[in-house]
Amino acid sequence: MLFRMLSIAAPLLWAPGGEIFGDIRVGETYLVDAPVQLKCGDEIVKGTTDKEGSFRLAAKSTGRCVVSVMYEKATPSVEVVLFDKPARYRLVVEKTKDGSYILKRV
């Protein structure tokens, strides 16, 4: 009886979420210790790149989200998609002709 109740309740307790990981570069140089943010609806997840420019962020939801990075007083961002399985994103910060920065997937 207890096993049956647990098997019915377990799917209700499991909340699917999404996760992205990858690295961020500026040109050929990896971005070290940079603040990174993932915004999915009202949820905001914050993190930092490591010594090799890598990051990993997990949200409670899946779907379209926005990842942004703080670089030289700018916060360029790019839209990403979170799935129920982790997705890898290789990102690069580029300077535009007008002097602003953009974040792109490569």
CB 82 within 8 A of CB 65: yes
Instruction: Give a yes or no: residue 8 inside a domain.
Output: no
Q: Which tens digit of pLDDT belongs to each residue from 33-90?
A: 999 999 999 999 999 999 999 999 999 999 999 999 999 999 999 999 999 999 999 9
Identify the pLDDT of residue 83.
92
Q: Is 67 exposed, middle or buried (0-12, 13-18, 19+ CB in 10 A)?
A: buried
Residue 9 lies in a domain: no
Give Dmax over CA atoms of the chain in angstroms.
Answer: 68
Better-scored residue on pLDDT, 97 or 6:
97
**Residue 96 scores a pLDDT above 50:** yes
Tell me, what CATH number does 75's domain have?
A: 2.60.40.10
Count how many domains the chain has: 1
Residue 90: domain span: 16-105
> In this structure, are residues 103 and 38 in contact, taking their beta carbons and an 8 Å threshold?
no
